Amino acid sequence: MKVCEELCIGTLVSTIKFNFMKIAVIGTGYVGLVTGISLAILGHKVICVGRNKDKIQKINKGIAPFHEPGLDNLMRKVLSKKIFRATDNFKEALFDTEIIIIAVGTPTVKNKIDLSAIKKVSRQIGEELKRNEKYQIVVIKSTVVPTTTEKVVKTIIEKYSGKKAGDFGLCMSPEFLREGNAVSDATNPDRIVIGQYDERSGKQLAKVYSKVLCPKIFTNLATAEMTKYAANALLATLISYSNEIARICEGVHGVDVVDVWKGVHLDSRLSPKIDNKIITPGIVSYILSGCGYGGSCFPKDTKALAAYAKEIGVKAELINSVININRTQPAQMVFLLKQALGDLKNKKIAVLGLTFKPNTDDLRESPSILVVKLLLKEGVVVVCHDPIASFNRTELKNMDIAFTKTAKEALKSADGVLIMTAWDEYKKLTPAIFEKQMRNPVVIDGRRIYNKSSFLNSGIAYKGIGYSG
């Protein structure tokens, strides 16, 4: 098996003649739908395959099954051009396609990656390839631990297709989508990683992106798989490091981690100066303290990476520390609340923000959910608000909590408030609003979105991650 190890700038490969391709994307979740729409925007004819008929109908009507800024508009655009649609017919979707992208979920179960969906889809693809003599390329877009594409996907497809890799193409091309920024990330990627089984596979997949002007990295399958984990683990590590520094600051009177990071961020290696103007790269936003990371990627991917490292005999001490810090970080919110209020039993506490970050409706692994559970254990009367999150989600079932339509309603007569998500509408809440709505206002700022001086000068008890007063 010959593998090409090279870095090609997008402008170089853009000279490849662009041909519209027929592409099937298996998965109508976050990665599958965003990927499918972004490929249709490039001009390809794309079919997304899913199992949920209601979701399929919504997608075909131009209604995204989850909140992502800008996604509905793009979806309606490609639907109107008849270059994108969704179906639950697996055979129809794969028939006569040139590229088959696997974008199904890979959750963690008991801290290990669950490949059941990957295995099922690989078998179905193998059965369809057996009926088709056309050369088709199977691309893994799902996040999988190193060697999965080679040892699991390839093996299953070969078994059920009766073909050998080479008769069909095989690539692993990880996604780098940020929830809340996924449309921009998918349509304007900063790099495309193509892990290839052989050069024919890689070159054919590269044609899909021939109009995209960004660096394209060609490597082997396992390296592509590892690149995704390394990227997510790095960002998660920066967050947990920031939160450990915050805990130290909380133990030192008068020290505020926000001021600490102002001094750190101005290091020219983090924020270079160009033409006397300071440039602040996006990665600096991960060196900020808060109540922990959540969502569909960082929690599951760090756990899966740690478990994989253990399987191959590597002690991933740093990654395990990152996981442990994040697991316990939400409890710091309750700790700061107790510092201010003492016994929490029967106290009314408002929780503002349930999603793990703004501009998404995702509650998966959200620090807010753990905080609510901790408050309920303390006998607290919990009132929640979130601008977007649906309150009938499974993450919130069987919780004795109340919900309000507005943030002000949640604050009414509350003894304390925890700011859990940095939604723009929460940033507009002034000290006067907290004073008017709450009993004796105690504000615990988990995202450090407020100017503490304005609160303290108003006589409000204010604490936040990295600042205990």
For helices 30-41 and 71-80, angle between their N-to-C axes, nearest 10 degrees: 50
For helices 221-250 and 330-341, angle between their N-to-C axes, nearest 10 degrees: 10
Query: In Å, how far are 24, 25, 273, 347 from 96, measured between CA atoms?
Result: 10, 13, 52, 63
Sheet arrangement for strand 348-352: 401-403, 381-385, 348-352, 416-419, 442-445, 461-464
Residue pair 212/42 in contact (Cβ under 8 Å)? The answer is yes
Chain centroid offset of residue 38 CA: 17
- For 46, the enclosing helix (H) or strand (E) is strand 45-49
Residue pair 137/170 in contact (Cβ under 8 Å)? The answer is yes
DSSP state of 65: S
β-bridge mates for residue 462, sequence order:
443
Q: Rounded to 5 degrees, what angle do the CA atoms 403, 406, 408 make?
A: 105
Residues near 377 by beta carbon (within 8 Å), at least 6 away in sequence: none
Distance between CA atoms of residues 177 and 168, nearest Å: 27
Buried b (16+ CB within 10 A) or exposed e, 11-37: eebbeeeeeebbbbbbbbbbbbbbbbb
Complete DSSP assignment for 331-382: HHHHHHHHHHHS--TT-EEEEE--SSSTT----TT-HHHHHHHHHHHTT-EE
Q: Which residues are catalytically annotated?
A: 297
Residue pair 208/24 in contact (Cβ under 8 Å)? The answer is no
Which among 110, 165, 177, 109 has a CA at the least distance from the CA of 141? 177
